[in-house]
Amino acid sequence: MIDNHPAHPVEAGSMSRLPDPVPAHPLLDGLPELGRGESSVVLDPGDGQRVFKVVSSPADYFYLAAEDRPQGLHFPLLIHDHGVIGKASNGYSFRLLEIERLHPVSGPTETLAHQLSAAYWEGCEKWANMGMNRGRLALYHLTREPPPGLPDSLIQALSALSDFIEEYPVEPDILNPSNLMMRADGTLVLSDPVFLP
């Protein structure tokens, strides 16, 4: 995990965790939780290759399962969309997604994630007077004037993410360290870079 980038609003407050129990479902019964966020729970089926992610935010669902979602090297691979499996206390449907298993960033990937997150935060500070649109502007300008050392494939992925954000009612978030993960081979993955405003 990245723990050495500048403090920002995401880190300043304590992030709430989804309070709901995991919905009963034959694919999920008895599986251990790997993690829990504000609007999702990740469960481990035990094969080391995939996870089940129960999402209660339309932002997460759009990003992970919409037909026109960004796809490619730096985006999570959707294995299967198992559909609606209940209702969350926030009023949204629980949806069950089967996605590739990702890991916390470490080694050179952690350095790259830190560089990306820091550059995005600098952009957010630069565009602070734009209010809620500052993240969109920061992301857009990051794709136009990337810091040295970002791989071309990652710049292309950020551009695809920027385009996606313009089409959906979501905002970017690549500040939170847990929103950047990696594959076993060290590839940086934008695992959860959007939220509902």
What is the span of the domain harbouring residue 82? 1-197
* Segment 164-184, tens digit of pLDDT: 999 998 999 888 777 899 999
Q: Can you read off the two tokens belonging to residue 54?
A: 């129960």
The number of distinct structural domains making up the chain is 1
CA–CA distance, 31 with 48 (Å, rounded to integer) = 13
3-state helix, strand, coil in the chain (%, to 5): 35, 20, 45
Least confident stretch, 13-22, 47-56, 96-105: 13-22
Percent over 90 (pLDDT), the chain = 75
